[in-house]
């Protein structure tokens, strides 16, 4: 009788004490991004997106998954936009830090280099890498939360060719997987729109003097220069140097949000009249609020890729909650694939890409064409993959 009473007392105490004594666990998220060199603004935008998404759940007591609260910790490594550095960082994240989720990489070559590690170990990655090879049925743990040139180029180029009377285009591309893939996509898109990519040059990513390459391109009398595929700083240098040698034609950037960084490097005068791809519509309240939060938090201008990775990280958290686990990435992957009509800061988002990549791991979202005036984007057309108007 006395024993029963003691047990009952212990049980009651246990029931009362359990919630307070429940230990918060830590969920580690890797950020394998470019934090140094010409692509740093993209990488920092991705890293900060993950940090802000983590901040959202942490301030509410942690991410609630299956009744357990997880404090989200973001572990960041710089790959310097290099495949070998990315492999080293991926090994540390997967085998030493034991992460099961990675935001990154920025570049195409780095994501292709780390996929043997991440896919073999069922680590879910959210990559910015533009190469078509990043997504395939053989790589089921890789997702891409941002549209690429393959998704946005054609409708934008159709609109620009028609409205700016463009017949010939010149372009400079990095001499790597990203540059080669974008050059191929861009050339096909201009040809389909009725124009031609008549002059193209490839260069190593650490190059800063583009005058000889631009001189050859401008000498061919091109109507426009295309910047897609170049990092923000490099694109700014190309714009500045193109204007320095007297190019007065149209300058276009059909992918890779980087307007503020380009303006910072080239100056407002050189960028006036430039047409750029934009995912950001200031008329959307949630997008503007995210931009302001980013600026207030980091004291820096927001890179246009950042909102995609904020939404992508939030979708990843949602998938964990719906799967009821942070450990079983197969279940989380399936839950992530099943998220539809997700209301992100940029608008309604859905997974697509089955026709192009053989797997629907490519996020589809609204996008825009903007004209740069006095350093600011002014939207001139709203687009979907079906067209711009």
pLDDT tens digits, residue range 126-169? 999 988 999 999 999 999 999 888 888 899 999 999 999 999 99
Residue 383, Ramachandran bin (φ over 0: left; ψ between -120 and 50: alpha; else beta): beta
Average pLDDT, the chain: 91
Residues 244 and 373 in one domain: yes
Beta strands in the chain, from DSSP E residues, in sequence order: 25-33, 63-65, 68-78, 101-103, 124-126, 142-143, 168-174, 196-203, 224-226, 250-253, 275-278, 342-344, 347-352, 362-364, 367-373, 376-384, 387-388
Asked whether residue 75 is domain-assigned, the answer is yes
Asked whether residue 363 is domain-assigned, the answer is no
What's the domain range around 86? 25-147+284-352
Residues 121 and 32 in one domain: yes
Output the six-digit token pair for 338: 């099943």
Q: Which of 118, 120, 121 is nearest to 129 (CA)?
A: 118
**What pLDDT does residue 22 have?**
52
Asked whether residue 15 is domain-assigned, the answer is no
Condensed to tens digits (0 to 9), the pLDDT of residues 48-84 reads 999 999 999 999 999 999 999 999 999 999 999 999 9
CB 264 within 8 A of CB 300: no
Residues 265 and 374 in one domain: yes
Residues 29 and 132 in one domain: yes
CB 372 within 8 A of CB 309: no
pLDDT greater than 80 at residue 10 = no
What pTM value is reported for the model? 0.81
**3-state SS, one letter per residue, for 175-234:** CCHHHHHHHHHHHHHHHHHCCEEEEEEEECCCCCCCHHHHHHHHCCCCCEEECCCCCHHH
CB 68 within 8 A of CB 76: no
Q: Which of 212, 225, 127 is nearest to 178 (CA)?
A: 127
Burial label for 55, CB within 10 Å (0-12, 13-18, 19+), is middle
Output the six-digit token pair for 377: 């984007």
Asked whether residue 319 is domain-assigned, the answer is yes
Condensed to tens digits (0 to 9), the pLDDT of residues 324-361 reads 999 999 999 999 999 999 999 998 999 999 999 999 99
Residues 162 and 246 in one domain: yes
Residues 80 and 120 in one domain: yes
Residues 79 and 111 in one domain: yes
Structure letter (DSSP) for residue 165: T
Residues 139 and 160 in one domain: no
* Three-class secondary structure of residue 14 per DSSP: helix
Q: How many structural domains comprise the chain?
A: 2
Asked whether residue 220 is domain-assigned, the answer is yes
Residues 189 and 231 in one domain: yes
Mean pLDDT of 94-108: 96
Integer Cα distance of 190 and 153 in angstroms: 9
Integer Cα distance of 194 and 168 in angstroms: 9
Condensed to tens digits (0 to 9), the pLDDT of residues 183-237 reads 988 999 999 999 999 999 999 988 999 999 999 999 999 999 999 989 889 999 9
* Three-class secondary structure of residue 102 per DSSP: strand
**What pLDDT does residue 196 have?**
97
Asked whether residue 10 is domain-assigned, the answer is no
Residues 274 and 168 in one domain: yes
Long-range contacts of 372-377 (CB under 8 A, 24+ apart): 372/259, 372/263, 372/271, 372/272, 372/273, 372/274, 372/275, 372/276, 373/272, 373/273, 374/268, 374/272, 375/260, 375/263, 375/268, 375/271, 377/259, 377/276, 377/278, 377/280
Integer Cα distance of 381 and 367 in angstroms: 9
Residues 161 and 111 in one domain: no
Asked whether residue 2 is domain-assigned, the answer is no
Alpha-carbon distance values, 4 to 1, 14, 21, 27, 171 (Å): 5, 15, 24, 40, 83
Instruction: For CA atoms 310, 314, 315, 317, give the dihedral sign.
Output: positive
**What pLDDT does residue 23 have?**
63
Residues 123 and 266 in one domain: no
Condensed to tens digits (0 to 9), the pLDDT of residues 246-305 reads 999 999 999 877 898 899 999 999 999 999 998 888 889 999 999 999 999 999 989 889
**What pLDDT does residue 140 have?**
98
Other C-beta atoms closer than 10 Å to the C-beta of 318 total 16
Asked whether residue 85 is domain-assigned, the answer is yes
Q: Provide DSSP, 255-275.
A: SS--HHHHHHHH-HHHHTT-E
CB 332 within 8 A of CB 320: yes
Integer Cα distance of 373 and 370 in angstroms: 9
The CATH number linked to 84 is 3.40.50.2300
């Amino acid at each position: 009788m006395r024993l029963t009473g003691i047990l009952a007392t212990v049980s009651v105490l246990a029931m009362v004490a359990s919630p307070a004594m429940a230990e918060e666990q830590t969920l580690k998220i890797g950020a394998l991004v470019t934090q140094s060199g010409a692509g740093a603004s993209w990488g920092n935008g991705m890293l900060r997106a993950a940090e802000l998404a983590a901040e959202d759940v942490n301030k509410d007591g942690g991410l609630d998954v299956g009744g357990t609260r997880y404090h989200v910790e973001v572990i960041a490594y710089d790959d310097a936009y290099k495949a070998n550095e990315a492999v080293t960082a991926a090994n540390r994240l997967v085998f030493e830090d034991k992460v099961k989720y990675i935001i990154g990489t920025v570049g195409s070559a780095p994501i292709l280099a780390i996929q043997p590690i991440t896919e073999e170990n069922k680590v879910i990655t959210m990559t910015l890498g533009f190469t078509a090879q990043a997504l395939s049925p053989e790589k089921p743990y890789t997702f891409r939360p941002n549209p690429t040139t393959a998704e946005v180029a054609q409708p934008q180029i159709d609109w620009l060719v028609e409205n700016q009377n463009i017949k010939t285009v010149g372009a400079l591309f990095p001499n790597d997987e990203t540059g080669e893939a974008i050059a191929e996509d861009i050339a096909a898109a201009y040809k389909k729109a009725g124009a031609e990519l008549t002059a193209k040059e490839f260069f190593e990513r650490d190059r800063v003097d583009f005058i000889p390459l631009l001189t050859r391109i401008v000498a061919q009398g091109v109507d426009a220069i295309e910047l897609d595929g170049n990092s923000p700083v490099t694109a700014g240098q190309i714009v500045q140097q193109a204007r320095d040698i007297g190019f007065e034609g149209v300058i276009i950037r059909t992918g890779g949000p980087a307007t503020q960084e380009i303006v910072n490097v080239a100056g407002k005068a050189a960028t006036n009249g430039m047409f750029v791809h934009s995912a950001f519509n200031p008329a959307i309240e949630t997008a503007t609020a995210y931009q302001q939060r980013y600026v207030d938090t980091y004291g820096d201008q927001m890179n246009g890729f950042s909102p995609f990775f904020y939404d992508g990280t939030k979708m990843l958290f949602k998938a964990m909650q719906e799967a009821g686990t942070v450990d079983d990435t197969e279940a989380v992957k399936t839950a992530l694939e099943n998220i539809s009509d997700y209301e992100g800061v940029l608008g309604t988002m859905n997974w697509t890409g089955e026709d192009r990549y053989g797997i629907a791991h490519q996020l589809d979202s609204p996008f825009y064409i903007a004209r740069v005036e006095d350093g600011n984007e002014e939207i001139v057309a709203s687009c979907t993959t079906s067209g711009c108007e």
